[in-house]
Amino acid sequence: MIDIGTNTTRLLVAEVEDGHVLELERRTAITALGQGVDASGRLAQEAMDRVSEAIAVYREVIDRLGAEAVVALATSAMRDAENGREFRAFLKQRFSIEAQTISGDEEARLTFLGATSSRNDDRETLVIDIGGGSTEYVVGHPGRDPKFHVSTQMGSVRHTERFVHSDPPTQRELEQLAAAVTETVPDVAVEHGIAVAGTATSLAAIDGADELHGYRLSLATCERLVARLAGMPLGERRRVEGLHPDRAPTIVAGAVILTGSIRALGLRAIEVSVADILHGAALAEAAGTAR
């Protein structure tokens, strides 16, 4: 499974047995495919080059491990870019990997499936997936198709480019960013929330989590981390323990999106999950329910 996202390109090689995903290899490269897409409507050549370099490495891993099926999903940046189809054709020709640009609805479905399928908890659950170019909110009961989902044009890369123009961000920029988040978060009522993807796992790591999966981030902790990260210039942020240096440029926007979401949804905390769209795609492929 390859996830070609707006900010990262990720690989999961796994075996699926009886509805369980056994990870064999997992890798992440921060490729920033969505660089400038919000303003230009096109994928930049240097961004496509970064993704190609990552996939060249992943192709070797896939072949070495002898994966029987290769599924590649492309999300927000590829959906929004007018040259996305050309880039997909290049990836197919160069690496024999046929990337599917999936809709926001399908992204939400697979993310919810991946985040909830192995849970022994029948509570109605919200899954938040903060990507580089979009954020999905999905509500349902674990192990079932969700009853509500929305894919928003809100992401850590997109909102950094829209709102953060100073280093470090000014109070006015942070206020405008937070207001945009509040306006975008859907009006849903849930008791339990799960956050997937790089923003949530990064904040958990920065907070000192020994184990990322299942770690609980309280609203107060998220607010404290936003204040800390937003108060640093980029060079200092790159050295924060637990934060990948290449996530430093966009982590403030991502953290504001997560914090604003928790607050607007009336939650006191959110649970971090490392199982996400990659796990969902693996489960769907094994079950023959991929769309």
**Residue 155 shares a structural domain with residue 189:** yes
Span 17-61, pLDDT tens digits:
877 899 999 999 999 999 988 889 999 999 999 999 999 999 999
Domain of residue 223: give its range. 118-272
Number of domains making up the chain = 2
Mean pLDDT over residues 137-142, rounded? 91
Mean pLDDT over residues 263-290, rounded? 89
Rounded distance between C-alpha atoms, residue 245 and residue 234, angstroms = 9
With respect to residue 284, please indicate whether it lies within any of the assigned structural domains: no
Rounded distance between C-alpha atoms, residue 243 and residue 280, angstroms = 25
Strands 72-74, 20-30: pairing kind: unpaired
Indicate whether 193 pLDDT > 90: yes
Mean pLDDT over residues 278-285, rounded? 92
**Residue 32 shares a structural domain with residue 126:** no
Rounded distance between C-alpha atoms, residue 265 and residue 256, angstroms = 14
With respect to residue 147, please indicate whether it lies within any of the assigned structural domains: yes
SS3 79: helix
With respect to residue 125, please indicate whether it lies within any of the assigned structural domains: yes
With respect to residue 111, please indicate whether it lies within any of the assigned structural domains: no
Tell the burial category of 286 from Cβ atoms under 10 Å away from its Cβ (0-12, 13-18, 19+).
middle
The answer to whether the predicted template modeling score (pTM) of the entire model surpasses 0.75 is yes
Indicate whether 105 pLDDT > 90: no
Rounded distance between C-alpha atoms, residue 190 and residue 112, angstroms = 15
**Residue 181 shares a structural domain with residue 248:** yes
Q: Provide the CATH number for the domain around residue 203.
A: 3.30.420.150
Indicate whether 259 pLDDT > 60: yes
Q: Provide the CATH number for the domain around residue 12.
A: 3.30.420.40
Mean pLDDT over residues 81-99, rounded? 95
Mean pLDDT over residues 157-185, rounded? 96
**Residue 174 shares a structural domain with residue 202:** yes
**Residue 76 shares a structural domain with residue 128:** no
Rounded distance between C-alpha atoms, residue 226 and residue 17, angstroms = 40
Residue 137, φ and ψ in degrees, nearest 5: -120, 125
Indicate whether 267 pLDDT > 90: yes
Mean pLDDT of the residues in the chain: 93
**Residue 37 shares a structural domain with residue 138:** no
**Residue 130 shares a structural domain with residue 97:** no
**Least confident stretch, 27-36, 88-97, 117-126, 279-288:** 117-126
**Residue 140 shares a structural domain with residue 205:** yes
**Residue 125 shares a structural domain with residue 254:** yes
